Structure 1
Amino acid sequence: MQLRQLQHLVALAEQGSFGRAAQAVHLSQPALSRSIDTLEDSLQARLIDRAYGTVRFTQAGELVLARARELLADAQQIQRDVLQLEGLAIGSLAVGLGPFAASTLGRMALSLMTQRHPQLLMRMEVADTATLCERLHRRQLDLFIADTRDLKKQPGLKLARLPDLPVSFFVQPRHPLRRLKQVTLERAMDHPLAGPNLPAEVAAYFDRQTRRSDRGAFSVTCDDAGTLRHLALTANAVILAPHAPALDTDTNALAPLPIVGFAGMRTHYSLVTLAGRTPSAAASAYTRLVTELMGPAKQPAVR
């Protein structure tokens, strides 16, 4: 039994004769008759009583006709739902962001997605890369954006590299360290030094640069960019954050603080999805938006 055969049955009921029904569905009358015969054979029941020379439905035919109308209506609704989904009139999107990605891309991307697709259900989570990876494998996220230096050997993932952004230390504009001609990491550590959870190799590099044995380089670890900014403004903290004025609002009220040995720091963002999984329309739209925000001339390279 096929939907096409049910369509022919409904057309026969609506038109009242094989000739008019055949014209309505763009078939010859013999072809329409064969379609109805095939439907009856598949159901092993007589649906049309042909003895009277007119179209009369048997009791089984009335039952099948009612169900056929329901099924055809459902099929049309499926088509409408898919079209709506592809147009993002319905659907959902769950995005994970690492701390740096949240403070740069996260807010702007969420705002633009909401403006462009107001009916789309969206959820955004901020966490470290390991947690985001676990949630992606559990299908709790559609994708995530984070520093992926620790994910180089992770199986089952597709990583699309995004353009790197500069990373700097920041302080409030009247911080005493800004009066110095040169600031070392040791000198910066005389003040609260704050940053997010860092990739293992990055955190190890920072710790190697200090001679202190009583603690690591950072005295405060926090993945919330707004809290880091608050620490810089209220507690004279030195914070580590991306330097992306076009995307980032968390460091706009702060001043960059050059520290010896840490020039040229950059992010290592990737957009991460599960390998072999077709992205939803919402995930594809979000990916295009991220590419647009990171720079129209810089397309992510898949590795």
Structure 2
Amino acid sequence: METRRMSHLVALAEERNFGKAAARVHLTQPAFSRSIQAAETEWGMKLFERGGTEVRCTAAGAFVVEKAKHLLQSARALERDVELYRDRQIGDLSFGIGPFPAATLLIPLLLDVRCKYPGIQVRVQVNNPIYALQHVRSEEHDFFVGDIRPTQDNPEFEVRRLGLLSGGLYVRKGHPLRDRRSVSMADVAPYKLALGRLPEEVQALLLRLMGRRPEEGLPVALECDDTTALKAVALATDTVMVGTPAIVKAEVAAGRLHPLEVRDLPPQASEVGVSSLRGRSLSPIAEYAVGFLGNYMAKAT
């Protein structure tokens, strides 16, 4: 039964008069009477007693009207919630983001969503693409923000490019390499690296510049997606950290970490984007978040 006809039953039960009930739902009395008769025919039961000065529900009518009230209340709640969801006043936003993009993008996005849409519940996982994209595939996350190399040629994903994120090497104040006039990647190797998971292309480049064979691997002291841990190791030891300017901004400003100029290492940058499942529509709040990230990156670069 349509909710419109349910509302007619409730109106008649409450008004106890065909004329008043018809006026309440903005119908002529003949049209309203036909609607009530159609409901009784559909259910195969007499729902109202029409004799006397007022209309009364039969036992069956009282049962149906009570259920109809609950259904109408649920329908109104659904309409209200859908409107709130569409306007990004309620709902969930779940996404993954790489450690390096997180240093630049995560806090501005979280603050913006929290201030503008306080009814939204946000869930974020900071992780490398290998693990984060598994959650996108299983639809636990709406999207992943990070290096697009794992997804740009994968038909499973739709990629929206955001911009370039530069990277470099950083060492502590007083590091032995700081005193050298010229530093090569071969000079860096003995001190080992503190880094997050690097794309294969970057790993291959560093291996070649260090003069190491692929089977030797990079000289890694720490591989970790926690940038705080990477900085702590670089600050306390001679380990060379791989990072982005945003991650070490405070430490560089304080003179505790320094960019390391390496003569044979070309400028490094990864293209950052939003990867989501192809053919899966994003929620209104997820679409807003993607738009915010694009605008923020455009202004930042």
TM-score for the superposition, normalised by structure 2: 0.89
Report the residue type matching 2:276 in the other structure.
T
Q: CA deviation at 1:160?
A: 0.6
The structure with the largest strand share of the pair is 2
Task: State whether residues 94 and 123 of structure 2, in contact with CA within 8 Å, keep that contact through their aligned partners in structure 1.
Answer: yes
Aligned residues: 297
Q: Deviations over 1:190-246 (max 9, x none)?
A: 32322110112221222122213554254432211111111221113221112248x
Q: Match of 1:113, SS?
A: helix
Q: CA deviation at 1:76?
A: 1.3
Q: CA deviation at 1:296?
A: 4.6
Q: Match of 1:124, SS?
A: strand
Task: Tell me how far apart the structure 2 counterparts of residues 171 and 111 of structure 1 sit (CA, whole Å).
Answer: 31
Q: Indicate which of 262, 265, 272 corresponds to 1:262.
A: 265
Q: Deviations over 1:119-152 (max 9, x none)?
A: 4322211222121111211122121111121223
The answer to whether structure 1 residue 224 and structure 2 residue 229 are counterparts is: no
Q: CA deviation at 1:48?
A: 1.8
Task: Tell me how far apart the structure 1 counterparts of residues 250 and 36 of structure 2 sit (CA, whole Å).
Answer: 67
The answer to whether structure 1 residue 285 and structure 2 residue 288 are counterparts is: yes
Report the residue type matching 1:175 in the other structure.
H
Q: CA deviation at 1:179?
A: 2.8
Task: State whether residues 171 and 234 of structure 2, in contact with CA within 8 Å, keep that contact through their aligned partners in structure 1.
Answer: yes
Task: Tell me how far apart the structure 2 counterparts of residues 156 and 134 of structure 1 sit (CA, whole Å).
Answer: 12
Q: Trace 1:50-69 onto structure 2 (pairs within 5 A).
A: 50-52=50-52, 54-69=54-69
Task: Tell me how far apart the structure 2 counterparts of residues 61 and 250 of structure 1 sit (CA, whole Å).
Answer: 75
Q: Deviations over 1:24-75 (max 9, x none)?
A: 2111112211221222222111112223363221111111111111111111
Deviates more, 1:1-10 or 1:271-280: 271-280
Q: CA deviation at 1:12?
A: 1.8
Task: Tell me how far apart the structure 2 counterparts of residues 212 and 231 of structure 1 sit (CA, whole Å).
Answer: 24
Q: Match of 2:30, SS?
A: helix
Q: Indicate which of 234, 237, 245 corresponds to 2:236.
A: 234
Q: Trace 1:133-172 onto structure 2 (pairs within 5 A).
A: 133-172=133-172
Task: Tell me how far apart the structure 2 counterparts of residues 188 and 31 of structure 1 sit (CA, whole Å).
Answer: 87
The root-mean-square deviation of aligned C-alpha atoms, in Å, is 2.4
Q: CA deviation at 1:161?
A: 0.8
Task: Tell me how far apart the structure 2 counterparts of residues 251 and 92 of structure 1 sit (CA, whole Å).
Answer: 36
The answer to whether structure 1 residue 44 and structure 2 residue 47 are counterparts is: no
Q: CA deviation at 1:88?
A: 4.2
Structure 1: gaps of 5 or more residues:
299-303
Task: Tell me how far apart the structure 1 counterparts of residues 250 and 140 of structure 2 sit (CA, whole Å).
Answer: 28
Q: Match of 1:273, SS?
A: strand
Q: Match of 2:235, SS?
A: helix
Report the residue type matching 1:169 in the other structure.
L
Structure 2: gaps of 5 or more residues:
none
Q: CA deviation at 1:271?
A: 0.5
The structure with the largest helix share of the pair is 2
TM-score for the superposition, normalised by structure 1: 0.88
Decide whether aligned partners of structure 1 residues 143 and 120 sit closer, same or farther in structure 2, where only a CA change above 3 A counts.
same
Aligned to 2:192: 192
Aligned to 1:273: 276
Regions of 4+ moved over 6 Å: none
Q: CA deviation at 1:276?
A: 1.4
Task: State whether residues 88 and 284 of structure 2, in contact with CA within 8 Å, keep that contact through their aligned partners in structure 1.
Answer: yes
Decide whether aligned partners of structure 1 residues 44 and 249 sit closer, same or farther in structure 2, where only a CA change above 3 A counts.
farther
Task: State whether residues 104 and 242 of structure 1, in contact with CA within 8 Å, keep that contact through their aligned partners in structure 2.
Answer: no
Decide whether aligned partners of structure 1 residues 95 and 129 sit closer, same or farther in structure 2, where only a CA change above 3 A counts.
same
Q: CA deviation at 1:274?
A: 1.2
Report the residue type matching 1:39 in the other structure.
A
